[in-house]
Amino acid sequence: MKKKTFYHLVLDKSGSMETCWTEARQVIKNQIKELTKTQSENVDTEILFSYCAFNQALRFSNKIMDIHSATIEWGEIYPEGMTALYDAIGESIAFVKEKAGRDLDLDSSDVVMLILTDGHENASKNHSALDIKEMIQFYEGTEKWNFLFLGAGLDITEVTQELDRGNKNAFSFQKEKIKKSFDMVNDEISDFIIQKSMNQKKRGFFEKEEGSI
């Protein structure tokens, strides 16, 4: 039985993302290609992809996809509106749990959730900071879920201050350096998969970096 890694992207599509939207689309398309390559080089691990694009509303992928056939409906996603960050995280956890089903119960299954935002929470209706803080702490405690935070053009630790995370698995970058930042993210996820193939567990992300570029 193959090991499974569920990679879920939480992508900010609020109005302020317009300044780097073209570049964001390109680096995410490239990331899917890189993850496809990583899976081909680590045949014992299956990488499955899904996403949530959010402003004040949430738009999810229709299903969880094998990385080889992963797509994003870019024609339906464009930057506008506000930032319901907490709702996006909370509902993304529920989405992955529902779609992955019993596969998540397997010892060889895990989740990497990458949260990319360029703004502060200002529009959530269903989840508070405390909700998300407790949810993340609970799921990280299972050692099967990994939450990564990227801040585009801002200090991500300010965004996650109410979640009491500090610099844990977090990285900030200037928008004009989004390609370099995602190259680093791809290396980190690839390392996660390689270690998993060797029956090892990657304990942290971005630890070799200085926290921002």
Number of Cβ within 10 Å of residue 198's Cβ equals: 10
Look at residue 210 in the predicted model and tell me its pLDDT: 61
Tens of each residue's pLDDT in the chain, 213 residues: 789 999 999 999 999 999 999 999 999 999 999 999 999 999 999 999 999 999 999 999 999 999 999 999 999 999 999 999 999 999 999 999 999 999 999 999 999 999 999 999 999 999 999 999 999 999 999 999 999 999 999 999 999 999 999 999 999 999 999 999 999 999 999 999 999 999 999 989 998 766 677
Give the whole-angstrom CA distance, residue 160 versus residue 213. Answer: 18
Domains of the chain, by residue range, sit at: 3-106+126-197
> pLDDT at position 213, please?
76
pTM recorded for the entire structure: 0.97
Contact 85, 159 (CB under 8 A): yes
Tokens of 96: 């992955």
3-state secondary structure of 203: coil
Assigned superfamily of 3-106+126-197: von Willebrand factor, type A domain (3.40.50.410)
How many angstroms separate the CA atoms of 44 and 115, rounded?
26
Contact 163, 136 (CB under 8 A): yes
3-state secondary structure 23-62: HHHHHHHHHHHHHHHHHHHCCCEEEEEEEEEECCCEEECC
Q: How many CB atoms lie within 10 A of CB 68?
A: 13
Entry field: residues in the chain: 213
